[in-house]
Amino acid sequence: MINRTPQPINTLSIRYGEEKTFGRLNLSSTLPAYSQAKFQSSTHSLVNLAHENQLKLFDPTVQISGLTPDCADKTKACYNDPYDYERVFYENIMINMRNSFNRKSFQSYIENYFADASVCANYSGCVDYKDPALSYATRNMMMMGISGHQMDMFVMRDVYAADGMGGGSLPDIGLHQSEGKGWASYWHAYMDPNSGSYRGYNNMSYLSVFHEIAHGYGFNHSSGMTYGFADSWTNTYLQQHFTQHERENSNAHQVPSVLTKAELLEERKVRLSFYHTQPGASAQDIELQFIHNDGIDIKVDYIEGRDNTSVDVTFGTPPVAPVYVRSVSGNGEYMSTLQFKGSDLIPLPRYTFGGKAYTILDKKLIAPETSGWGIRKLCDQPGQQLATKADYQALWNYMSANNLLGTLSTNKFLSRDEPASWYIWMLEFNAREMASSYYQLGVGIGNDKALVCVAPAN
C-alpha cells in the first residue's frame, strides 16, 4: 500500500475480490503520510484490493512545489514555494477543511448560516441569488466541493502586502469536475515558529487560509464565503467539531459512515446498495440526499425483502449537470458522495482495443445546439477526451474489420482536433472508408451527428 496523502492511515474504505465487495480495512499499525508498507490478512483475500474514496467534497488538485517565480526584487511582495514546515502547515489546515466539507453537520451549518436573513443581507452575492433549484449555501458548498480544481499554495515573502492574498475562477458545477484554477498565500512570518509574529494554528491562521482559498475558488468579498463564512467556520464550527490537538496536527484519514454502491439496472434506473462502515449501525437508518440544479424528476423506491439496505432510483431524464447523491447513517457524521452524470445512466456502446477504450455517446446526451467548443466538455468519465481524427480512423478500422458498422445509429461524428482555424473535423463512417471534411467550430452539432470519447483502456 502506497500512501500518497498528507494524512496517516489507520482505516480505509475499500473494495476487494472479484465481486468488488465493499469493506473497511483496519490496519494493525498506522501507515504514516507519504509512506508505503506491505501487509497481509489471515482472514480475507486481498485480490483486486482498491481504495473506495467516497469522501468527495473539497477535493482540489493542490500544487505546493515547483511554483517559484523570480523574487529578485526585494522591494515587492514575493509569492513562492512553501518550505517543508510551511507545506505541513497548509496541509493540516486543508485536511480539516476537507474533513469539514464531508460532514453532515457542515452541510447543516452552512445552510443555517446563509438562511439567516440578517447575514445574507450583508452580501450582494447572497441577496441577488435567484436559483430556486439550489440554495445559495448548497451552491457555494458544491463549488468549493467540486473535484479537480487546481489550487496553487504560495507563501508571501519579502514585503508584507496583507495577511494573505489569493484569486481564481469560479468552478462550473454544471461540469463533472472543475476546469478552473486558483491560488492562495499566507504571510511567511505567521507560519515561522522562530518569528516574533508567529501565529501557528490559531483562529487568525485558519480564518486567513480559508479566506484566501475561497478567493482561489473565485469567491469575492461580496459572496459571504471570504468575509463572513470563513469567520463563522473558524470561530464556531471548527471549535465545536475539532479538538485543539486536531486543529494543530495532521489528522488521520476518515471513512464515511456508509459506502454506497451504484448498479445501472436499465436506462435511467440505478440501484443503490449501502454498506455500513461503523460497528453497530442500523441497516434501516440511512439518510439519502440528492443535490442538483437540473430540475429533473427523481423517484426513489425501497426494495422489500432486502432489509432496506438498497433502493432503486429512477431519473426522469438523463441529467445535463451532475447529480450528487449523499448518504449517511443516522448516527454517522462523515457522508458518502457519489456523482451521477448523463453518461452514467444510459448503457453506451464501448469498444476496447489498442490500449484505448472508445465509448459512443448516445444522442440523448448531446443538445443539438452544442457547438464545437461545447462538445469537448461532454466526455465526462475519468480520463476521457473527445476523439481526434486519428482516433476515429482507428475505430472505423476496428468496426469495419469486425462487421460492426451496421450497429451505428448514425455514421457522422465530430472531432476535437482542428485542421484549420475555426474548424474541426466531421467524420463519416461509410461502408468502404471513413470520409472527412471541415466543420465550423461555432455551429451546433444538430441531431444527425454523435461523438466518441476515448480513454486509456485501464
Q: All domains of the chain, ordered by start, with CATH?
A: 1-52 (no CATH), 53-247 (no CATH), 258-344 (2.60.40), 350-456 (3.10.100)
Q: Which three cell numbers stand for residue 386?
A: 473527445
Classify 147 as helix, strand or coil. Answer: strand
Instruction: Give 165-207 pLDDT, tens digit per residue.
Output: 999 999 999 888 898 999 999 999 999 999 999 999 999 999 9
CB 190 within 8 A of CB 99: no
Which residues make Cβ contacts (< 8 Å) with residue 279, sequence separation at least 6?
none
How much is the average pLDDT of 75-85?
93
Compute CA distances 369 → 206, 424, 438, 441, 449, whole Å.
45, 16, 18, 12, 12
Instruction: Report the alpha-carbon distance of residue 259 to residue 270 in Å, rounded.
Output: 15
**Bridge partner residues of 424 (DSSP):** 439
Q: How far apart are CA 268 and CA 175, in angstroms?
A: 19
Is the pLDDT reported for residue 308 higher than 80?
no
* 443 DSSP assignment: S
By residue count, the chain amounts to 458
- d(CA 99, CA 280) in angstroms, rounded, equals 23
Residue appearing with cell numbers 452552512: 110
What does the H/E/C string look like for 219-238? CCCCCCCCCCHHHHHHHHHH
Asked if 68 and 83 count as a contact pair (C-beta separation under 8 A), the reply is no
Please report which confidence band the pLDDT of residue 294 belongs to, taking 50, 70 and 90 as the band edges.
confident
Judge whether residue 280 has pLDDT over 80.
no
Quick one: average pLDDT of 38-45? Answer: 82
List the beta strands (DSSP E) in 105-236. 147-157, 166-168, 181-187
- Give me the residue label for grid cell 517543508: 84
Per the DSSP assignment, residues forming a β-bridge with 186 are: 155
Nearest Cα residue to 339 out of 319, 325, 328: 325
pLDDT band at 29 (very low <50, low <70, confident <90, very high): very high
Q: What is the pLDDT of residues 339-390, one digit of tens each?
A: 999 999 999 999 999 999 999 998 889 999 999 999 999 998 888 999 999 9
Q: Compute the mean pLDDT over every residue in the chain, rounded to the nearest whole number.
A: 93
| Residue-wise DSSP of 3-29 | E-SSS-EEEEEEEETTTTEEEEEEEEE
Q: What stretch of H or E contains 112?
A: helix 104-115
**Beta carbons within 10 angstroms of residue 280's beta carbon:** 7
| 444 pLDDT above the threshold of 60 | yes
Residue 12 pLDDT: 93
